[in-house]
Amino acid sequence: MASEKVIVLDDNNFEAEVLQSSIPVLVDFWASWCAPCKAIAPLVDALANDYDGKVKVGKVNVDESPATPAKFGIRGIPTLILFKDGKVVDQVVGAVPKSQLEALLNKAL
């Protein structure tokens, strides 16, 4: 069950929601067939709740919106990229512990 705080991102709304955001944005690039993506999904949802108002959290389905992952050179999923002021601040590839994701977010705050 996805958190209602997680924004569904696609090729059409990515620029407005992420690149023009006034607060940092954590973007999870995933696919429905990807087991590690499913494993990390509850952590991403929890972070959306924990950092509500401080960081936006969104997900891009790489199969449904291929242009955006291509633009950022996504080769493996899950890839989580942290954006701040429209720029890539940091990124993590693979299912990582929540503590690693929290450290990533705290760097941008």
Per the annotation, the verdict on 37 as an active-site residue is yes
Residue 107: the pLDDT is: 87
pTM above threshold 0.75: yes
pLDDT classification of 2: cutoffs 50, 70, 90: low
35-86 pLDDT, tens digit per residue, is 999 999 999 999 999 999 999 999 999 999 999 999 999 999 999 999 999 9
Catalytic residue (one of 37, 44, 92, 105): 37
Per the annotation, the verdict on 71 as an active-site residue is no
Question: Which of 74, 78, 79, 81 minimizes the C-alpha distance to 55?
Answer: 81
Domains of the chain in sequence order: 6-108 (3.40.30.10)
Full DSSP string of 4-73: TTEEEE-TTTHIIIIIT-SS-EEEEEE-TT-HHHHHHHHHHHHHHHHTTTT-EEEEEETTT--HHHHHTT
Residue 19: the pLDDT is: 98
